[in-house]
Amino acid sequence: MMKRKYLYNTTVCLLVVTGFFSCDKGYKELNVNPDAVITPTPAYVFTLAEYDGAGYNGGAYGTSAADFLLGTMQYTTSYNDVAGFGSKYISSQVTQSEASFSAAYPDEINELGIVIKTVKTDPSKVNLLAEARIWRVYCFMRLTDLYGDIPYSQAGLGYDSSVYKPVYDPQQTIYTNLLSELDAAAQSLDASKATFGSSDLIYGGNTAQWMKFAYSLMLRLGMRLTKVDIASAQTWVTKAIAGGVITQDADIAKMSYIATGQNINKNPLVLDLWNNDYIAQNGNTNTEGGKYADTWISYLQSTNDPRLGVLSVVWVNGVPDTVASIQKGMPQNIPNAKPANFVTYSEPNPSTVLLMGSPKLLFTVAESDFLMAEAALRGWYSGASAASLYQAGIEAAMRQWTIIAGSAGTIAPTEIAAYVGNNPLNTSGSFNQQMAQIYTQFWVSIFPDAQEVYNNYRRTGYPALVPNNYPTNATGGQIFRRCLYPISEQNLNAVNYSAAVSRQGPDDLMTRIWWDKQ
């Protein structure tokens, strides 16, 4: 009898044990993060994408391309080898060139993916979608121009499509898509519909200006194709100019920043420069040994450029001095030891170039003018002459320091007039001579956006910089043609990495990307 009772009770308990009842009441709620939301707000994510795409670089300063390319384009240099990758191409520092790639995807690329996914099916949010698409083009363009083939079509799909190892798309495919994205997005803008409003730090949601920005980017991208596909270049450049590019100061695409507070709200390039070198503000204990390079200062001096006094200072007795005659750039071949006269070299003017709250110009009137000058020179555009566009570009570039730095950056109209008068486009010169003039002036005018200057340098060969043949450089004394993929891709995305390398050429600083064909 006892035995039977055991059997009964054992059965009851087994039923209990094998889970005929729920022991998870409240667990669904318990597993909800109280400090986070499930649904993103597209405007807030878009603002972050603007910050990140404009160069915040995940907050990791010092190795962003925006920074070291200033050295490569010979605006700046450093006696220190570690910080000198940009101007010295030191082989032991090549991994610095990986940083932009690593940062972009989890930041702006993924953020824009979230925005686009959230707004794309809602017709009332067509402007939000269009602006996100245009900004996405800007971001991808910055990336592919540095690395060549990159993950594009499958990028940022880790969550949505479980793609953990995206393929690398050929740059040609990427360019084709970027251009058609610009076209489609620009045409979808509708002034009667909602915008990001104040969450858009570039245009405050203004659809007309976004359209100009889209066509200006189309101009930039189209012109990029001159070495590799001249016919397409002409088609897109013509289309862009017809669509209406940025030609008024009020339409300049610029990110606005705040001088104090969180780093993310500050001008990222200024933050980089500041933290890397100029934070002590004494001209002597520059953190990583940085100064303006001799190439840059000498050129401004040789042309009596009024921008020299706006952009450059020498610290004299603990005070920054803008007097043009004492400006002096540092040689780019100093072998890793602080020179005794370090303090006497020029560095960025703290009241213009180093303003943490100054806007970062993403696409300027000057850039439109110079690109259209080239278009005119090539006979693709007849709305104005190359010479007048060249002059307009210089004038716009001089005016833009007022936009950046207010009165401290203002160059008197008389000085501007004197400079343009002394430096006209030599219309009787050869095509190459005029190109040299346009893109040397582009170099002076687009500063400090070294990345866009570097793109046009690779495309046109101008300005005709003399590469720094520093011992132990990684390039055989040449300016590098691309940046390196992160080593982590070899570990985490090996197959697609290898496919890209076998298609594009060795993952090497001297391998040329598609539009930079020899």
Per CB under 8 A, contacts with other proteins among 140-199 are 150-151, 154-159, 162-166, 198-199
The tokens describing 126, both together, are: 């067509």
Q: Stretches 126-134, 299-307, 442-450, 468-476: which one binds other proteins (CB under 8 A)?
A: 468-476
Q: Does 7 contact other proteins by CB under 8 A?
A: no
By CB under 8 A, the residues from 406 to 445 that bind other proteins are none
Q: Which is nearer to other proteins, 323 or 492 (CB)?
A: 492
Query: Nearest distance from residue 175's CB to other proteins, in Å?
Result: 18
Contact 263, 254 (CB under 8 A): no
Name the nearest CA neighbour of 134 among 210, 48, 209: 210
Report how far residue 27's alpha carbon sits from residue 21's, in angstroms, rounded to the nearest whole number. 14
- Which residues from 360-389 bind other proteins, rule CB under 8 A? none
Question: Which position among 9, 124, 304, 426 is part of the footprint of other proteins (CB under 8 A)?
Answer: 9
Burial code (b: 16+ CB inside 10 Å, e: under 16) for 207-227 equals bebbbbbbbbbbbbbbbbbbb
Residue 486 touching other proteins (CB under 8 A): yes
By three-state DSSP, how is residue 393 classified? helix
What's the closest the beta carbon of residue 366 comes to other proteins, in angstroms? 27
Residues 56-115 binding other proteins (CB under 8 A) are 80-82, 90-92, 95, 102, 105-106, 109-111, 113-114
**Residues 23-52 contacting other proteins, CB under 8 A:** 23-28, 30-41, 43-45, 47-48, 51
User: Taking contact as CB under 8 A, which single stretch among the options 376-384, 432-440, 449-457, 481-489 is the one that binds other proteins?
Assistant: 481-489
**Shortest distance, position 485 Cβ to other proteins, whole Å:** 10
- Is residue 279 a contact residue for other proteins (CB under 8 A)? yes
Cβ closest to other proteins, residue 96 vs residue 247: 96
Q: Which of residues 280-299 bind other proteins (CB under 8 A)?
A: 280, 285, 287-289
In the complex, least distance from residue 356 CB atom to other proteins, rounded to whole angstroms = 10
515: nearest Cα among 240, 138, 73, 171: 171
Residues 499-518 within binding reach of other proteins (CB under 8 A): 510
Q: How many other CB atoms are found less than 10 A from the CB of residue 41?
A: 12
Q: Which positions ≥6 away from 412 have C-beta within 8 Å?
A: 306
Measured from the Cβ of residue 183, the count of other Cβ atoms closer than 10 Å reads 17
Q: Which two tokens stand for residue 286?
A: 């520059």
Least separation in angstroms between CB 301 and other proteins? 27
Query: Residue 232 to residues 90, 139, 237: CA-CA distances in angstroms?
Result: 37, 22, 8
For residue 139, state whether it binds other proteins (rule: CB under 8 A): no
Binding piece for other proteins, criterion CB under 8 A, among 6-14, 364-372, 399-407, 450-458: 6-14
Among 120, 227, 239, 338, which residue sits at the site for other proteins (rule: CB under 8 A)? 338
94 within 8 A of 509, measured Cβ to Cβ:
yes
Per-residue 3-state assignment (H helix, E strand, C coil) for 424-477: CCCCCCCHHHHHHHHHHHHHHHHCCCHHHHHHHHHHHCCCCCCCCCCCCECCCC
